[in-house]
Amino acid sequence: MSITGSTGLELTGGGLQVVVATRNPHKVEELQRILGPLLPGVELVPDDGPEPVEDGDTFEANALIKARAAHERTGLPALADDSGIAVDALDGAPGIHSARYAGTRDAQDNLELLLEHLAGRDDRRARFVCAAAWVDADGEVVARGEWAGTVADAPRGEGGFGYDPIFVPHDGGGRAAAELTAEEKDALSHRRIAFTALAERIRARSASGRGASSRCGAEPLASRASENAIRRPRSVHEVGGSCSARRRRAARAVSLPGTTFAAVPRVP
């Protein structure tokens, strides 16, 4: 069986189950819409295991923590993301603490606290950030996407979730993210940028012989040239290697034209 999507990613051997390390149903729905055409034939399986402690100091570190935990618990390839809003006037806050900014894990509380902290400020520049991680028996891949905009004075719109009602992207026609349709948001968002780049890196890794598989020795994902342009994030990070190398947590730097790669060390 061979299934190929618009990005050229081809699955062989009947498809692939991938566990998604999130308990956020809105995020699962968004990832299904985004990844459907990027990873055709892949079945996304929700992770019902315990949540790991997210004690990383970057979006990338926390995404990897979640993906590693899901992969080690299930043995399946694992996807995870860590995302949030970074506000220039607040030195990048809430940043990695976006989901718990108000201490309650309530989206409305977080949104209201951010507006309170920006009250009276002229500089309202901000960006949504997403780090997307893939972990399997052959290694790890992380991609980062950023969506630039500003913070509105008050919530607008009924769609989206999280900080969407107060985030006005530069490419949104003056509308808040919550005022965009799901299709419009999927085409522009930080998750679209990050997960598109992630799929690109998985294809490139497969082509080099380090295929994405559900276990050591499984048939890898094959790759063919993409017919569509893929938007790259600011940076993409990869750690790869064989099963034994993965256990040794080896990492090496990689460089390809137009993209910067850096080693992301694994913690035993």
Q: Which residues are catalytic?
A: 82
Q: Which residues contact 198 (CB under 8 A, 6 or more apart)?
A: 132, 133, 134, 141, 142, 143, 236
Helices (H), the chain: 25-38, 59-74, 107-117, 182-188, 190-207, 243-247
Q: To which H or E segment does residue 99 belong?
A: none
Please tell me the distance from the alpha carbon of residue 239 to that of residue 261, in angstroms, as a whole number.
Answer: 9
Give the number of other Cβ atoms within 10 Å of residue 142's Cβ: 32
Across the strands, what pairs with 87? 126
**Within 13 Å of residue 212, how many CA atoms lie on the same side as its CB?**
32
Give the number of other Cβ atoms within 10 Å of residue 115's Cβ: 15
Cis preceding-peptide flag for 220 (omega within 30 of 0): no
For 173, phi then psi, to 5°, come to 65, 30
Q: Is 43 helix (H, G, I), strand (E, B) or coil?
A: strand
Burial class (CB in 10 A: 0-12, 13-18, 19+), 105: exposed
